[in-house]
Structure 1
């Protein structure tokens, strides 16, 4: 019997994953990851780890599998929380869920599982894995979940071949409704439990409170930029190379305070992200204000009225070589090559037609249609059909 260690989170998805593996004849062990100790920043009734850990223990008991808790809070703080603070300070918006999978679940946690003699690590992600052979070598594919509404392949976009080799996703073929029905039929305590939200393993967090632990409030101004701002209507130059064209369209406008009018004050540009509408506290506009850019050096937030404001839209983004990742290393582009793909810049966004262009310093992703709120620090992931083949951090 192969031994599988399941990351039991105390939710319905990982509970059913453990049940299915047991049914398939694996030797299953449940492990709960405790990644956080500070309850002062969590909205406590939303996802306290204690309740989750109890639910995970009750599920393991019901399934008749061994269970233990591992404390990974030190590694979580180092690899996820410190990274988040650092990114926000630079004016970028990180995605902790993607990082948590790469750095914690499929790295630190996986190492612990392998030390416990596990052949595989399983999670309750809505995605699938397939294995093909190419030139006599096994290649693992990361495929989107069958439930298109719940597909979580995007969150796993940074996994490597080595990590995928040891991963199992038992519920990837199922719809969420089927997962709940299985949990109910097995009388699992998590059958009706709401999906947890917020930060991976921490729960719902008051982000400003969370960030204020490290990033001190600092008053600055909110500037509104008119939709007819001249930069949006600049004449497009004639380009001598495709790379120059991509570089031009990937650049965001460089705003200064005089480009608009001051409409309010804020407590720190690093608390805000592109596309954000809530929390600005500015009224009296015809359409709601959206953040179109933040300048953490000058501590200024630039906004525009309405979700169609031209300052929100671009169709090209750039990923530097240091932050470029291929799940399918065998499909990685060489300099000068391009590839047609489907891509998304955030979780649950519909896949959009795009072309990848590899250049010496990194990779341009050119979308067919303009994208709203392309945000530095977030991940772009690209697919061929339903297979996620690579990703990168938006520069």
Structure 2
């Protein structure tokens, strides 16, 4: 069997290539260039050239043919243009997910097949297995053998999330040689084989673009425009009909009557789950999350679920001006009247450059705790912020995936209208899997989390898994 390995110059794809060669496959390597413009990258214009040089040395060391392909046109059309469009609409896209669906397992696969490849391999930390029936035979649907895709065995490096939009046709052609290894094991194999990439640091930033300053990158197409930064006070939620609706609706579907937990306890995904202490959490009696009654969820109307899933709208916070006289000369000036629900605390250069949960780059002082973006309004060019990790605007309990955006990796697992299923869900890479109930309705797939989730933005991909680690499906929020 002839296998094309996507060789990036990193240690993961290098070890994947080595393992394939050792297993007796007819292997060749292909390095793809997907980006030319280095204006927004933080490492200068030679980063991809260095990666290519290392990749070529790795191929030479292993003893496999090496090819180069330029897919920058396809990447710009299918990934970068999508990014610009999503940010301009106030959504937060994931270009790496699109890169795998549209480039690595589409345009790159097509190029590899022209060179005679039967399969394409990558250095992703995930596993692929055949779907077997009760007799141990591979399941075939519509003439196509079915495959399962599972988390990688290394919980710190699992990359199945980035492959959440692949279909069965793409999986049939895919190989993931290092999915059963941990990162330390991969490093050890690379050192033992004296591979040139053995000590190379993991790549960061946008897939095949590199680490970038995102606002600078987006300003290539999206024009800066000054607007207000509005801080939202806690009083807003006490008077918000939509927030009150969410509290009452979630309360109505609890197994045990009471007040639902509405705020997520902060936990750093990059520090082993270290969380803060001595902080009062709303719904603290349910600190382990909300236990919902599936039968009560069935009684909710489609319209109720859709309203529950919507992010809060802060457009009702208005600011009126008043004139006053200042100083000995009584100079007439204008100021905003005090508003119990919020305050204009600064200026920004474009709502499209900010994402939910962001705290860097706001340049807002005078607060005891950190300030976070809780909402963006690209139409009126306003960003809304809140103070502290437990600000109510950072948490959401329910999200919706539109019918057009629902993607099932296996057709046999597709949910029918009215069905409720318990799954584990993540909405970003490296996020620990979260317990949730999925309910399918004619107006979409709704995900109700046991614990409120922090910093969710429309446009992100929600990915759901079974209890044994199989990735089942995904969709853009």
Q: TM-score range by the shorter chain?
A: over 0.9
Tell me how far apart the structure 2 counterparts of residues 136 and 333 of structure 1 sit (CA, whole Å). 19
1:276 equivalent in alignment to 2:335: no
1:253 equivalent in alignment to 2:253: no
Q: 1:342 to 1:47 in 2, by over 3 A?
A: farther
Q: CA deviation at 1:46?
A: 9.7
Give 5+ residue unaligned stretches, structure 2.
253-298, 319-340
Equivalent residue for 2:65?
66
Equivalent residue for 2:288?
none
Tell me how far apart the structure 1 counterparts of residues 211 and 40 of structure 2 sit (CA, whole Å). 9
Does the 8 Å CA contact 2:153/2:179 hold for their aligned counterparts?
Answer: yes
SS of the equivalent of 2:85 reads: helix
User: How do 1:156-305 and structure 2 match up within 5 A?
Assistant: 156-229=163-236, 230=238, 231=240, 234=244, 236=247, 241-256=300-315, 257-258=317-318, 259-305=341-387
Q: CA deviation at 1:145?
A: 0.3
Tell me how far apart the structure 2 counterparts of residues 105 and 200 of structure 1 sit (CA, whole Å). 11
Tell me how far apart the structure 1 counterparts of residues 207 and 131 of structure 2 sit (CA, whole Å). 31
SS of the equivalent of 2:132 reads: strand
Pair member with larger Rg? 2
User: How do 1:47-66 and structure 2 match up within 5 A?
Assistant: 48-66=47-65
1:9 equivalent in alignment to 2:91: no
Tell me how far apart the structure 1 counterparts of residues 404 and 46 of structure 2 sit (CA, whole Å). 35
Q: CA deviation at 1:47?
A: 7.7
Q: Which moved more, 1:30-39 or 1:221-230?
A: 221-230
Does the 8 Å CA contact 1:277/1:290 hold for their aligned counterparts?
Answer: yes
Tell me how far apart the structure 1 counterparts of residues 432 and 60 of structure 2 sit (CA, whole Å). 39
Does the 8 Å CA contact 1:227/1:311 hold for their aligned counterparts?
Answer: no
Q: 1:66 to 1:363 in 2, by over 3 A?
A: same
Equivalent residue for 1:391?
474
Q: CA deviation at 1:328?
A: 1.4
- TM-score, with structure 1 as normaliser: 0.97
Deviations 1:96-127 (A, max 9, x none): 01110001001100111112111110000000
Tell me how far apart the structure 2 counterparts of residues 324 and 33 of structure 1 sit (CA, whole Å). 30
Tell me how far apart the structure 2 counterparts of residues 247 and 82 of structure 1 sit (CA, whole Å). 29
Does the 8 Å CA contact 1:227/1:305 hold for their aligned counterparts?
Answer: no
Q: CA deviation at 1:246?
A: 2.1
Does the 8 Å CA contact 2:400/2:445 hold for their aligned counterparts?
Answer: yes
Deviations 1:16-47 (A, max 9, x none): 00000000000100000100111111112598
Q: Which moved more, 1:67-76 or 1:256-265?
A: 256-265
Give 5+ residue unaligned stretches, structure 1.
none
Q: Which moved more, 1:238-247 or 1:289-298?
A: 238-247
Equivalent residue for 1:149?
156
User: How do 1:41-52 and structure 2 match up within 5 A?
Assistant: 41-44=40-43, 48-52=47-51
Q: CA deviation at 1:245?
A: 3.6
| RMSD (Å), alpha carbons | 1.5
Tell me how far apart the structure 2 counterparts of residues 365 and 12 of structure 1 sit (CA, whole Å). 37
Q: CA deviation at 1:214?
A: 0.4
Q: CA deviation at 1:336?
A: 1.3
Q: CA deviation at 1:292?
A: 0.3
Equivalent residue for 1:27?
26
Does the 8 Å CA contact 1:85/1:214 hold for their aligned counterparts?
Answer: yes
